[in-house]
Amino acid sequence: MNLYADGDAALDEQAVELAQTLAGYAGVAIANAAPHASAANLAKNLQAALHSRSVIEQAKGIIMGRNGCTADEAFTILVTMSQRRNTELQTLARDIVGRASAD
């Protein structure tokens, strides 16, 4: 934080102390801004991951019901389909769940 004044006597001792106090508070706010943004971003990503996991689990259940297979086998089928179609796993899972709920 920079503070400018005209002449040597423009800022008295009280003004300097006030400016130093303000700079301290500003420093704390600035120091906390980055961790706060990081935590908010992490929370957003975790929420998206939880939603993604839920959809993938639903798709696995649908595959298990259709193919009479285990959860591990259903996940392998889902991954293989994703790779063959060159589609993200979450997108494929969303499609499978969407088609199943339309039936």
CB 62 within 8 A of CB 100: yes
CB 92 within 8 A of CB 59: yes
Among candidates 60, 89, 85, which has minimal Cα distance to 75? 60
Q: For residue 92, what pLDDT is reported? A: 95
Q: What is the CATH number of domain 13-102?
A: 1.10.10.10
For the record, the structure tokens of 17 come out as 């102390």
Quickly count helices (H) and strands (E) in the chain: 3, 0
Residue with tokens 């706060």: 36
Question: Is it the case that residue 101 has pLDDT exceeding 90?
Answer: no
Among candidates 78, 29, 36, which has minimal Cα distance to 58? 78
Question: Is it the case that residue 9 has pLDDT exceeding 80?
Answer: no
Question: Is it the case that residue 1 has pLDDT exceeding 80?
Answer: no
pLDDT digits (tens, 9 = 90+) for 30-87: 999 989 888 888 898 888 888 889 999 999 999 999 999 999 999 999 999 999 999 9
